[in-house]
Each structure stands twice: as C-alpha cells, then as structure tokens.
Structure 1
Amino acid sequence: MTRLLTPARMRYAWIAGAALWGGWLLSLLGGSGGLDLAGQVIGTDYLEFYAAGWMIRHGQAARLYDPEAQLAAERAILGPSLPAYHAFLNPPFLALLFVPLSLLPYPVSFALWSAMQLLLLALSLRALSPPSAFGKAMGWSLTFLPVFASVSFGQNGLLSLALLTGVWIMWRRNRSLAAGALSGLLLYKPHLLLGLLLLWGMEGPRGWRALFGLGLTGAALLTLSGALLPEATAAYGRFALNLYPDLPSWKEFPLWHLHSPRGFWRLLLPGHPRLTDALALLSALLATGVVLRFWRRHRADARRFAAAVALTLYLTPHAMIYDWAILLLPALLLWEHAPAARPALRAAFALVWLAFFPGAPLTALMVRYLGWGIQWTLPALAAAGYQTKLQPDTLNAQSR
C-alpha cells in the first residue's frame, strides 16, 4: 500500500476534507431557526448538552433524565418544530459545564463550543508533535472523519483527546498520581479509560498510584454531583442501569455510527443480540491478548500508552464515530517515537482514514438497502496494527 500513497493521490484526501468542511459550513449558513439546510439541528448532539445546562438553570435538574422533560426543554430552545428528540446520556456533572454556555443563544453557544474543540485539537497536536510538524498534523487531522464528526455533531471527542493527551504528558513525566487524577475527568465517558486501566493495573506501584488518582477524582466528581444535583445524580444511577446494557437496541439508535466490536457484529448479524455480544466479547479478548503480547515486547512508555488507547476501541462496547478522534494520540506517539516505522505507519494511517471517509457512508447505505452492514473501521485498525509490526525496543532515556 505504501507504493500507492503518491503525493498526487494523497492530495485527494485534502480535497475531500475541504469539501466536507465547506459543505457543512454552507449548510449551516443557509439554514434558519437552529436548523441547517437539510432540516437537521445545527450541531446535532450539542442540543442535548445545551438543554441539560438550560434545565439546570431553570430549576429542572431533577428531571434531567426524564425524556418528556428533555424534549420539552429542547422545544423551548429551538421551537415546537424540532424534528427529533436528543437524549442527554452522560453523568450529571458534565451538564454543569454547559450551564454557562446555555446563557448564550443556541447558535452562538454552538459556535463557541466548536471553537473550543478546535482549540483543544490544536493544543493536543502541539503537545504531541514538534513545532515544525504542527501545521501538517493539524491539516491531516482535519481530514480525519472522527474529528469532523466531533465538531459537526457538537460532541466531545476532541475534549477526550485533549484529556488523554494531558494524561500522557503526566505519565511520561512519571507523575503517575497526577496522570490518574487528570484521567478522572474522562469519567463522563468512563469506557474510554478501559485500555489505560489495564495498562496501569500491570505497571506495579507506578500504575497503582495512577489508579488511586483516578479514584480521587471520581470521588470528588461524585461528591460535587451529589451536593449540587442530588436528585439528578440518583436518577442517573437508575437511568444508566436501565439504559446502557442494551443501548444499541434503541429503535432510533444510529448503529452504523457505533465503531466497536459490539457495533461491528450487530451490524453484520442483525437480530441476534446474544450471539453478537458473545462475538464482541471474544473480539475484545483477542485484542487484549495481542496487546499484552505487544507490551511484553515493548517497554517504552510511548508505545505502551499508544497501544492502551488503541485497545480501548476494542474493549469498549460504546465508541461512536467521534470518539475515534482519540486515535490521533497513538498515531502521533508512534510517528514521533518509532521513526524507522514511518513508511508502514503512513500506510496504516491511510487504511484507517479510508475505512472512515468512504467506509462510513458505505456502511449506512448497506444497512439501509440490505438490512445489514460491515463496519470497516475495526478490521482496518487491526490490519493497521499488523502492518506496522514495530520492532522490539530498548529502555533508554529518549524512549521513556
């Protein structure tokens, strides 16, 4: 595949990325009343976050997980013609972040949130790449579909990337307690920590300190949530137990956007939830075995941390398209810390890029017309890992 990645062919990725962002911006500018040209809510998922902050401001925190109350709040914000209900699914402490943002008109608030996400992306890339490579890293990242999805959907994938980048910086500096404490801020999506939990559990006292820091932040967030939003905190516990075990079975759930083993098998074998969940578990176990073998051969922190983040996408039952923005972290870590492998890495990156850009709409079309589909990203990530085949490293100051 490396031979196919000529400069002329790689320019098509830039053209595709520019067309994607340009078309989206035109759709936003051509819309009205909080809707784009296609009649969809501007920012899509951002409405649920904005509405959560709005409900707290209006004394409705106790009904934060009541679908009827959420729908009424969203219609109060965008009007009675709202085309669909957007459910707030995260812990209540995340809603506190959107209380000040809900003071602004919805389009202005979404624009500010989008700008904040792009700033977090820039800060992450600046921390992970040398200054001379920052512009190229930023440009290529903007062509990566999960980055576009995080911004256009009004989601938090780039916030997750920034937090994991901060965790890496603390871990690299051997400040394991701080790394764990910072990782606790990701508890709005705890499944994105699964790879790190496995890594830290194997790292001895250093990893145990990180786990302790994670526990401290988790306790602090639970205390904060219980003190400021006691009814919502209790309601979230019940809501999560009833909802999360089988979220993909929701009638309106966009299964083609679920990029995890569970999503892969449920798309491929619809109507067989028990079988597909068993296959998803088997896939996660196989991926874990591969990464454990990788960790035995590689002791450098950068490679082990990169593998932990990538493994998360196989361990989690719930990784949407925008959550895959965190894959930029292992990509840049390997690029900087394994320069000899760059030809293979370039091919691996292209494979994952292709799995998303033409692959995601192809999956949606298959589901629509065939009733089943293939989620290309999980096999592409596995093939990319095999393509790379990094040589065992040695412990030295630079790699640590």
Structure 2
Amino acid sequence: MARLLIPARLRYAWIAGIALWGGWLLSGLGGSGNLDLAGQVIGTDYLQFYAAGWMIRHGQAARLYDPEAQLAAERAIIGPHLPAYHAFLNPPFFALLFVPLSLPPYPISFAIWSALQLLLLALSLRALRPAGFLQATAWALTFLPVFASVSFGQNGLLSLALLTGVWLLWRRNRAMAAGALSGLLLYKPHLLLGLLLFYLAEGPRGRRALLGLFLTGAALAALSGLLLPEATRAYLDLARSVYPNLPGWKEFPLWHLHSPRGFWRLLLPGQPRLADALALLSALMAAGAAFRFWRRHREDPLRFAAAVVLTVYLTPHAMIYDWSILLLPALLLWEHAPAARPALRAAFALVWVAFFLGAPLTAWMARRIGWGIQWTLPALTAAGGEVKRSLREEVGG
C-alpha cells in the first residue's frame, strides 16, 4: 500500500475532499428555509440536539424522551413539512448544553455548532502535532468521519477534543484530572469502554483516574436529577428498554454503524443473536490483543493510542462520525513512533478508502440485497496489524 501512495495519487484525496465539502455547502446554502437542496433538514442530526434544548427552554423537559413531544417540537422548529423524525437519545445533562444554542434560529445555531466543531478539531490537532497541525488538519478534513460529524451536526469532534484533553492530562501524570475529564464523555458512555480497560491495566495511576471518572459521573447524575428529574427517570427507562437493541430499530441506519455489532448484523440479517455473539467474540479478541500490546509496550503514547482504537471494537454503537476519535491515536503514533510512519500512512489511506468508497457500497448493498459488508472494520484491523508489525520491528531493532 505504501508504494502506491505517490503524490499524483494523493491528489485524488484532496479533490474528493474539496468536492465533498463544496457539494455540501452548495446544497445547504441553495436550499429553502431549514432544508437543503435534497429536501433534508440542514445538519440532519443536529435537529435532535436543538429540539432538546428548545423543549427544556419551553418548559417541556419532562417529555424530553417522549417521541410524540419530540416530533411536535421538531415540527415547531422546522415546520409541518419535516421529512423525518430525529430521536434525542443522549443523557439529560447533554441537553442542557443546547439550551443556549436553541436561542438563535435553527440555521444560525447549526452554523455556530459547526464552527465550534471545526475549532475543536483544529485545537485538538494543534495540541497533538504542534509543528505540522495545518497539514494534519487539512488531511483530517478529507476524512469522511470528520465530514460526517460536521455535516450531520453530530459530536464526533467534541469526543475527539475531550479525549485529547484526557491525553494531555495523562501525560502530565495528572491521572485523577484525566479521569474526571473523561467522565464528560458519559454523554456517549460506550466511548469510555477502551479507557476503562486502560485505566484498569494501569495500576494505582489508573485507579486514580477511575476515581476522577466516578466523581464526574456522580456530579453529572446529580445535575440531571436536580434540574431534570422527570427526564432523568425517562432516560433510565429508555436505557433499559431501547438501547440493548437499538440496531434492531426498523429505521436505524445500520450501514452507518461501524463496530463489530454493526459488521455482523449487516452480514447476517435476520440472525441478531448469532451476530451479537460474534460481535462479543470480536470484542473479546480485540481486548486480548490490546492487553498483549500493553504488556509489550510501556510508552504512554502507544498505550493510550491502543486504548482509543480498542474503543471502536468494544462499543456496540460506533457510528460513522464517532471514528473521528481515531485521529488521536494516528497522530500519537505519528509523533512518538517515527519508524512506523510508512505503515501509518498506508493505514490512513486504507481506512480512508474504506470509508469514502466502501460506505456508499455498504449502504447500497443493505438497501438492494438486504445484507452488506462493513468494509471499514476489516480495513482498520488490517491497518492496525501492519502498524503493530512495524512497531515490533522497531522494538526488535
């Protein structure tokens, strides 16, 4: 793969990235009202966050997880022509973030959120690669998960920024503060799974981080319970009844689920128990590989990078935009394992192609023939194996 990455071929990535962002901007700016040229809501998923803040501000917090109330709020914001319902599924404390963001009109609010996400991306990459962050940012903007996080109005770049902050505190040996900051990721608890195993593997230092994580979790639970008691109870019911089989929802975009669970459910439609068993086996194998990696490598950057990658294999719900967090391990390895750079360059290219070309193919297969192959997970596995081999050779040398 590395031999194929000549400058002439790399230009295709820039062309594809410019076309992607340019087409999205033209569609959004050329649309009517809150809809783009395709008739879809501008920002897509951002509507659910905006509506959650709007409902709290309009005294409807008790019905935050009521589908009928959510749909009515979204129609009040967008209009009766709303093309699709967007469910708010995050914990109640996350909705509080969008109370002030629901004050401006929807398009302006989405523009503010998009600008904040791009700022968080730049700050994260500046912290991870001070000498070359402009080049890193430019390449990151061609990465489909980054584009999806911004264009869908999602929070993948917020997750990246939080994990970057955790790493900066961890490398300064401020373990409790790192754990406390990682607790803010509880707005998507499954993104903590890799860090939890990492903390457990780190002895006393990891236990201090777990204490910080617990304190933040307790504070967020208290905040939700005090300010949004009815919504908190409704969320707990939702977590028990809906989350375990979220990919089984009729309208769930399974082709956007880039995790072992999504891979096996796409490949084995109609056999959810077998698919979930294979997903669990895949997660256990990934955890075993991570622990072997941690035993071999004692350097903090390499260990933290492995923890973030492990999250993708452990979480049942890694959507396309959640893969933005993989920029963190990519840059940690680039900066701290120079001998692995050829393998890292090839790994990024492989995953980039799997997203840019494979994601549309997966969606087409799921719609036309009822099953599909999620190309990104095999690509990441192959890329990770190549990077591990290069690191092993470096250690051996």
| TM-score grouping bracket, smaller chain normalisation | over 0.9
Residue 22 (structure 2) aligns with: 22
The 5 A counterparts of 1:1-400 are: 1-131=1-131, 133-388=132-387, 389=389, 390-391=391-392
The one-letter amino acid of 1:337's match is H
Distance across 1 between alignment mates of 2:220 and 2:32: 38
CA contact (8 A) 1:297 1:393 kept: no
CA contact (8 A) 1:118 1:158 kept: yes
Distance across 2 between alignment mates of 1:199 and 1:94: 25
The unaligned stretches of length 5 or more in structure 1 are: 395-400
Q: Secondary structure at the match of 1:299?
A: coil
CA distances 1:111-161 after superposition (whole Å, capped 9, x unpaired): 000000000000000000023x11110000000000000000000000000
CA distances 1:291-312 after superposition (whole Å, capped 9, x unpaired): 1111111000000000000000
Distance across 1 between alignment mates of 2:292 and 2:133: 32
How far the C-alpha of 1:51 sits from its partner, in A, is: 0.2
CA contact (8 A) 1:27 1:38 kept: yes
- Cα 1:392–1:223 change in 2 (3 A) is farther
The one-letter amino acid of 2:180's match is A
Q: Secondary structure at the match of 1:391?
A: helix
Q: Secondary structure at the match of 2:102?
A: helix
Residue 398 (structure 1) aligns with: none
CA contact (8 A) 1:259 1:320 kept: yes
Distance across 1 between alignment mates of 2:325 and 2:222: 28
Distance across 2 between alignment mates of 1:184 and 1:368: 37
Q: Secondary structure at the match of 2:285?
A: helix
The one-letter amino acid of 2:351's match is V
Distance across 2 between alignment mates of 1:195 and 1:60: 35
CA distances 1:316-346 after superposition (whole Å, capped 9, x unpaired): 0000000000000000000000001111111
How far the C-alpha of 1:392 sits from its partner, in A, is: 7.4
Task: Please give the TM-score of this superposition, normalised by the length of structure 2.
Answer: 0.98
Distance across 1 between alignment mates of 2:394 and 2:325: 24
Question: How many pairs does the alignment contain?
Answer: 393
How far the C-alpha of 1:391 sits from its partner, in A, is: 2.5
The one-letter amino acid of 1:376's match is W
CA contact (8 A) 2:179 2:212 kept: yes
Distance across 1 between alignment mates of 2:291 and 2:351: 22
CA contact (8 A) 2:114 2:150 kept: yes
Distance across 1 between alignment mates of 2:199 and 2:152: 32
How far the C-alpha of 1:393 sits from its partner, in A, is: 7.4
How far the C-alpha of 1:4 sits from its partner, in A, is: 0.3
CA contact (8 A) 1:300 1:393 kept: no
The one-letter amino acid of 2:57's match is R
CA distances 1:361-394 after superposition (whole Å, capped 9, x unpaired): 0101111211110001111111001111212778
CA contact (8 A) 1:255 1:267 kept: yes
Identity of counterpart residues, as a percentage? Answer: 81
CA contact (8 A) 2:70 2:87 kept: yes
CA contact (8 A) 1:299 1:393 kept: no
Distance across 2 between alignment mates of 1:337 and 1:196: 20
Distance across 1 between alignment mates of 2:92 and 2:340: 43
Distance across 2 between alignment mates of 1:163 and 1:72: 33
- Aligned CA-pair RMSD: 0.9
CA contact (8 A) 2:164 2:328 kept: yes
CA contact (8 A) 2:339 2:394 kept: no
Distance across 2 between alignment mates of 1:78 and 1:343: 48
Distance across 2 between alignment mates of 1:65 and 1:130: 42
Q: Secondary structure at the match of 1:358?
A: helix
CA contact (8 A) 1:313 1:324 kept: yes
Q: Secondary structure at the match of 2:340?
A: helix
CA contact (8 A) 1:309 1:326 kept: yes
Distance across 2 between alignment mates of 1:128 and 1:282: 33
Distance across 2 between alignment mates of 1:341 and 1:70: 48
The unaligned stretches of length 5 or more in structure 2 are: none
How far the C-alpha of 1:290 sits from its partner, in A, is: 1.1
The one-letter amino acid of 2:392's match is Q
